[in-house]
Structure 1
């Protein structure tokens, strides 16, 4: 008699990711809101603030970064709270699917939705603000690794913070408050060179600043735009280091704070 072998952690995670994507695309209102909101904000704010091509390039890059972080940090964190609240996590705990596979599935969802969101933001940026997309493979490679590290690190941080929220009702405040504040400290709406040094320091402690800076390096028409950054350069090595460090910190936080229900670990 042979014993059936259970699928591996990665296989289960990818299968869970496919389930998450099906549920996401079936909820058309949520789909439209999640993907279109950053593009709508870009359109409204850009119409008010963007007056020249150079500003459009940098603003579009920052909004793409902020949109991706919104999906991975805020969106995923609230999704985990909802799964905990409606009993999904409790039911999954009783299956052979390991804890890691659940998160692989969630990150698959975030990657796909963030790609759709980034694509829509680029379309709006090109159409409304005449933004020029990168033309070199090197810049698209930079976009890819900044995107990947940004999504993973901020997804993990969002999941860790979701442990604080007891319900979807208060999850919005727990997750949106730091996100909104950090947009002003990370060069999304205000160039970091215009901020007091103390606020620049606070913003530089978190991933949003580095994701947006990485994307600005991708969309900049030339390296002269780097003088608008706090350090006067793109600091790509530092971006990789900070986002990699936050990925490790996120993993540690999730392993120590994740709860299957509001009453137990």
Structure 2
């Protein structure tokens, strides 16, 4: 009887190459001053500005009647914005630049699998996004005196909103990287998109104060849901009534963000190439 040898897929090698690329990607990220400022430090800068500018203003009270400071009020939005900037903005600009300057073309001539490349990019976003969130939480607690949650349930919610949000943002960033025609135009194309999303998604402006039609537009995008999930963690329950439907709706946060993750994966699968077909 003849046995047919089935070749083993080099899954272990693919993962190892991807993990090694994470280290290289993180190093390269922190060597780029503009990326560090506009993606890593930008939410902290904005939190500092809002906490200082509105330090004498009350944004509401908790169940015990204690006033909620500006820093506490804006912290959830800045955490959500950090997910968008670290994932979508960072990768969309970075990959578009690599496509334009020939980096992807050179990688196409190497044995590096596309999956390893994705592992490196998404891993870099996870590492830098986690560091950014930790920096925001430390600044909020130590510098601005924000009382952080103590319940384990709240931190569990934070963990899954963060992981789902940062992964979705990273995948959407890879998908969006196809939009800019050149690396030089990448920032001009991507940054306005992320800025508009931040303004309509309850990051800088109270979501309940936006016109209903603008709320409906924001509902169609993931940042609004990520910000809502973060508010459920860090704001008192007295703020829940200001949310659409009068509830945090964490199930809706999970469904909407997961749907965008699937959309991003499908778009990446259909459109990602090492080089453009017309190049």
Task: Give TM-score, length-normalised by structure 2.
Answer: 0.86
Alpha-carbon deviation of 1:88?
Answer: 1.6
Report whether the alignment pairs 1:99 with 2:103. Answer: no
Partner of residue 48 from structure 1, selected from 47, 53, 71: 53
Select which of 250, 253, 257 maps to 2:264.
250
CA-atom RMSD in angstroms? 2.1
Residue 114 (1) aligns with residue 129 (2)? yes
Deviations 1:143-186 (A, max 9, x none): 11111111111111111111011222211122111211111211
Q: Whole-Å Cα distance in 1 between the matches of residues 82 and 46 of structure 2?
A: 9
Deviation (angstroms), 1:263: 4.2
Residues 1:140 and 2:155 aligned together:
yes
Asked whether 1:29 is paired with 2:57, we answer no
Report what 2:255 is aligned to.
Answer: 241
Deviation of 1:118 (Å): 1.0
> Which has more helix, going by share of residues?
1
Residues 228 and 248, structure 2, Cα contact 8 Å, conserved in 1: yes
Q: Say whether residues 1:259 and 2:264 are aligned partners.
A: no
Partner secondary structure for residue 246 of structure 2: coil
Q: Which piece of structure 1 moves more, 123-132 or 238-247? A: 123-132
The corresponding residue for 2:213 is: 198
In structure 2, runs of 5+ residues without a counterpart are 1-6, 59-66
Q: Which moved more, 1:188-197 or 1:12-21?
A: 12-21
CA distance in 2, matches of 1:239, 1:56: 23
Deviations 1:231-262 (A, max 9, x none): 21111111111111111000011111223224
Distance 1:22 1:230 in 2: 41
Looking at structure 1, the residues matched to 35 and 213 of structure 2 have their Cα atoms a distance apart, in angstroms, of 38
Conserved 8 A contact 1:158-1:175: no
- Looking at structure 2, the residues matched to 118 and 88 of structure 1 have their Cα atoms a distance apart, in angstroms, of 30
2:23 to 18, 23, 45: 18
State the SS of the aligned residue for 1:231: helix
Unaligned 5+ segments in structure 1 are: none
